[in-house]
Structure 1
Amino acid sequence: MRFSLSLLAVSVGAAIALSPLHSASAQSLARFGVDWRDGLERKDSIGAIATTDSAEIVEIAQDSTTDPPSENLESESTAVETEQETAQEAVSQEAVSQEAVSQEAPAVDAPDEATEEPAPSPNADEAVPPEDANLEDADLEDETDAEAEAVDENLIQAAPDYLNPSSNPLQFPTQPEEVEIVGTQPITLEQAIDLAIRNNRELQVSRLELERNQAALREALAANLPTLNLTSNLTFQENTQQQQDSALQDLLDQLQGGQGGGTQAEEDDVNVVLGGALELNYTLFTSGRRPALIEAAEGQVRFQELQVEAQEEQLRLDVINNYYDLQETDEQVRIREAALDQALQSLRDAEALERAGVGTRFDVLQAQVDVANARQQLTQALSQRQIARRQIVQTLSLAQSVEVAAADPVEVADLWDLSLEETIVLAVRNRAELEQQLVQRDISDAQRRAALSQLGPQVSLFASYDVQDTLNQDETVQDSYQFGAQLNLSLFDGGVARAQAAQEEANIAIAETNFAAQRNQIRFDVESAYSNLQANFENIQTASLALEQAREALRLARLRFQAGVGTQTDVLISQTDLTEAEFNRVQAILGYNRSLAELQRSVSNFPYAGIVPEPSPEVQ
């Protein structure tokens, strides 16, 4: 029975320890439970010291209350002594229960080693409850795991559709209700990345530019095919030749004494001509200009593909940093709220001691100032959280009437298993920015060859067929055709072609120089992120230990102050140390995650799951 009570006490203690934590999923609670159990073993020595200090405090309190100034002081001292005795009894009871468990464990195993018990009969119902209890515990654990998995699946699912912006990019609000925030949606980091890739405006512009370059490539490839043109025309023209013939005939008739001018005057003076032509042209030889322009267009497409890839990776990093900023502001609000609660508790203690006659007005004023400072810091933390929420909404290009909050708990994201040298080599091989400079060099070289090709001969073939008919006359259809070749050679252009080639040669040198500068920058980024990663990893361990020590120090300082042997200054200093320790731990974890994200961005093409990709052979 004592063993069951001790387990109940430990469970209640775990629940109390877990209650102030802000976690977004059952998985984070389970992870904290493992860390708490590990930390409980490390706290055994601290607990023993704390028990000794508590006993000393009780003795000092008893000595200090021999001459009580008032009945309130006696009641408060008695309450402190009662709390200390209760804590000592709980610690001793837990120690006795653990000893009882350790003594009872061999006694259970002894009969199994000595003799083998017969199998229980089917009717032996009394022997079944222990097994049933184990089965019930196993079922309870399975249900707990199933609930945790269900929570994780809900967090990993796709983001709601109402977070997506309007499909009309030209929409703008005209009423205040259209921009009013109607709700806050918690999202995970994976959901934030997915929303950014779908909705980010800058990334959409890059994709549209890629489509434009692909259309330009199709335009360049069209130069390999001949062109076929069909033209048609309808012409109304005056028949001047017919009028001259009619006037001459009239003159001859008059000279011969006859009558003229009657027949031709009745004929039309305007001819209606319908014509058409079919032309075929093909550029046979361009001195290398056509393939050079096609190669340059292909390079532009590849360059823009790499630009989309680089911008997507940079967007992923920006979203991760914005999400970690959001987590940091959430933790700041939580820490500031806890600091305000601690300050209010100190104020209540100071006021109680002042009413009892053992405290001073100075201690109360100090506590009031600390409460006011804590309120101001909490207000500032709330403002920073609101700014962080709006910042990530802008990055994700979400709807104007919603905002998001972080659903993931603050924890170490992943581990980096590569060495610094391996990371640098992988980054140099896979970064899209380096390949962009190589592609830009190839584009400039192709444009240089296209410029010099203007000095060479240009050979083209042509063929045409013409037909026309005078509609107001009979049997006037005429047709003709022609074909041939045309040679064009520029003898002197004033140096334009060679000047254009010189410009492209300079562009080639610029691309090579940018490659070297980008390579050095990538190495520096990797080294900086790797150094920050190691430093933050060590700081996580140090900050976690310091946080436990700060909590214990605050507990002891508060007990000493309540017993009348400590000062309000000690409590305030301990509260400040605890707040700083919590900030340091949060910043160490988020700093580690940011450095890890920068390393993943440095090597590029790095999936968020944490799998190191194979080096790309495209860039050597």
Structure 2
Amino acid sequence: MARAELFPILDIETSLVRFRNDRVFGGGTDQLGTLIPEATSAETFTDARASANLTYDIYTGGGRSARIERAERSVRRQQLEVEVIAERVRFEATDNYYLLQNADAQVAIRQADVENASQTLRDAKLLETAGLGTRFDVLRAEGDLATANEQLTRAIADQRTSRRRLAETLSVGQHVELSAADEIAESGIWNLSLDQTIVRAYKNRAELEQRLIDRELGENDREIALAEIRPRVDFLANYDARENFDDGVPVLMDWTFQARVRWRIFDGGRAFEGARRAERRMDRANLEFANQRNEIRFEVEESYHNLIANKENIDSTRKNVATFDEALRLARLRFQAGVGTQTDVINAQRDLSGARGRFLQAIIQYNQSLNALQRAVSNFPDDRLFETP
């Protein structure tokens, strides 16, 4: 639309008119009072006209080029907004998928707790039958089993909620049931240092380029406003032809060429006020750029430090799972042999369940931190901003 100002405007107009002119002669009475009849005559004309008008703005005080640049930058800004939305959707979909994995893991852990509690209840009943246990041990094992079932029910509810949240993010059908297809594992590694990551984020984030474009749009608005009080040069050409088919006169043609210079000397301060408003928008864009840059740096640093911490937690919690699994095995053997207590088994079960949960949670949080770091850097891993095909 803005580039149309680079071309002249040509208007063509034609008309065909046919009209009739009636004239009345005589009528009334003569000197003797004799009635004089009226006489009429009619003339018919057919008139055809054609005209062409060409207008071209030779110089617009910089307003035309500013409007074209502004339109191009507005298109670029919209393209970057599409990229921002795409990155946000990718981040949310990935994060919700990890949350679904975590919910599935919690269901598996709670199911294991139910199985362990059931095994403990069976052992308590056997020891009671053999005279080596008490009714109190059986009742306590039944209570622990009931608690494990309650936690399993809550975990299943959270799993269904996570599925629906992911389905909403992906905009799938209402009756589609999603599930995590991958096992919980580290989704990748980050090989860049913190400083390299920050530099890459500054380079890739579309939000920063949007703030720069906002400043450039303000510059264009200022030029457009000031162009109203600058000299303007126009060129106008007119061609007019007229033909009366009934008078026998050849076609009459007129040519007109005109170069016009216009200069608005005073406009009440409107142009300067528009320029000042544009400058205020430029100042705001600069401030938003600085704030956006600080926010991006914070996002990168937070995600990077969380990634390192969660990576260390994966190693430590993995060892704890092996340790507590062996402790539960030994506690159950001692209890079955009658030399251990049910409390030792229950405590070992809880320790193992907590260790498994912390291990899987460490992996999930590691993946979430990696996802957040990729979002903070944006356009990972090819480092390409949005490009039109």
Q: By the TM > 0.5 criterion, same fold?
A: yes
Q: Does the Cα contact within 8 Å between 1:353 and 1:359 map onto a contact in 2?
A: yes
Give structure 2 stretches of 5+ with no counterpart: none
The CA deviation at 1:462 is: 1.5
The answer as to whether partners of 2:28 and 2:36 remain within 8 angstroms in 1 is no
The number of residue pairs the alignment matches comes to 382
- CA spacing shift, 1:489–1:566, aligned 2, 3 Å: same
Secondary structure of 2:26's aligned partner: helix
Quick check: 1:407 aligned with 2:186?
no
CA distance in 2, matches of 1:425, 1:615: 15
**Pick aligned residue for 2:219 from 425, 442, 445:** 445
Deviation at 1:426, TM superposition (A): 1.6
**For the residues of structure 2 that align with 1:252 and 1:225, how far apart are their CA atoms?**
65
Task: Say yes or no: does 1:534 pair with 2:316.
Answer: no
Change (3 A) 1:487 1:251: farther
Instruction: Tell whether 2:59 aligns with 1:285.
Output: yes
CA change 1:560–1:490 in 2 (3 A) is same
Aligned-residue offset at 1:403: 2.6
1:403 is paired with a residue whose SS is coil
SS at match of 1:281: strand
- How far the C-alpha of 1:347 sits from its partner, in A, is 1.1
**1:394 aligned residue:** 168
Superposed CA offset, 1:119-172 (max 9, x none): xxxxxxxxxxxxxxxxxxxxxxxxxxxxxxxxxxxxxxxxxxxxxxxxxxxxxx
Q: Does 1:340 align with 2:114?
A: yes
* 1:264-302 C-alpha deviation (Å, 9 max, x unpaired): 1xx25x756443322211111110000011111111112
Alpha-carbon distance in structure 2 between the residues aligned to 1:376 and 1:272: 98
Partner of 2:26: 250
Deviation at 1:528, TM superposition (A): 0.7
CA distance in 2, matches of 1:276, 1:251: 41
1-structure distance, mates of 2:151, 2:184: 21
Structure 1 residues 541-552: aligned runs within 5 Å = 541-552=315-326
Q: Is the 8 A contact 2:321 2:355 kept in 1?
A: yes
Q: CA deviation at 1:262?
A: 3.7
Matched residue type, 2:305: S
Unaligned runs of 5+ in 1: 1-218, 608-612
Task: Say whether the 8 Å CA contact 1:254–1:260 is kept in structure 2.
Answer: no
Partner of 1:385: 159
Identity %: 43
Which residue pairs with 2:5 in the alignment? 223
Counterpart code for 1:229: D
Alignment map for 1:83-162 (pairs within 5 Å): none
Instruction: Give the Cα separation in 1 of the matches to 2:164 and 2:30.
Output: 103
> How big is each residue's C-alpha offset from its partner over 1:435-481, in whole Å with a ceiling of 9 and x where there is no partner?
1111111111111111111111222111222334557x454754433
1:328 aligns with 2:102: yes
Pairwise CA distance, 1:555:
0.9
Question: Where do residues 125-524 of structure 1 align in structure 2 (5 Å cutoff)?
Answer: 219-235=1-17, 242-243=21-22, 246-247=23-24, 249-250=25-26, 261-262=38-39, 264=41, 267=42, 273-469=47-243, 473=246, 475=248, 478-524=252-298
> Whose strand fraction is larger, Structure 1's or Structure 2's?
2
Give distance in 2, aligned partners of 1:487 and 1:597.
61
Compare 547-556 and 424-433 and name the one that shifted more.
424-433
Contact conserved, 1:336 with 1:377, CA < 8 A, in 2?
A: yes
SS in 1 for 2:172: coil
Note the C-alpha offset of 1:491: 2.9
- How far apart are 1:483 and its partner, in Å? 2.5
TM-score by length of 1: 0.58
Q: Hey, which of these two has a bigger chunk of helix by percent?
A: 1
* Aligned AA (2:26): D
Residue pair 2:184, 2:360 contacting (<8 A) in 1 also: yes
CA deviation string 1:161-208 (max 9, x = no partner): xxxxxxxxxxxxxxxxxxxxxxxxxxxxxxxxxxxxxxxxxxxxxxxx
Q: Secondary structure at the match of 1:415?
A: coil
Distance 2:247 2:113 in 1: 108
Does the CA-based 8 Å contact 1:429-1:615 persist in structure 2?
Answer: no
Aligned partners of 1:372 and 1:315: how far apart in 2? 40
Aligned residue for 1:406, secondary structure, equals coil
Which of the residues 568, 571, 583 maps onto 2:342?
568
Q: 1:272 to 1:350 in 2, by over 3 A?
A: farther
For residue 118 of structure 2, what is the amino acid of its counterpart?
A: L
1:263 offset after TM fit, Å? 5.1
SS for the counterpart of 1:427 is helix
- Say if 2:27 and 2:35, in contact at 8 Å, map to a contact too: no
Q: Are the equivalent residues in 1 in contact too, given 2:27–2:36 (CA < 8 A)?
A: no
Which of 599, 610, 619 is matched with 2:373 structurally? 599
CA RMSD of aligned residues (A): 2.5
Matched AA of 1:250: G
- Quick check: 1:280–1:462 contact (8 Å CA) kept in 2? yes
What CA distance in whole angstroms lies between the structure 2 residues aligned with 1:560 and 1:595? 42
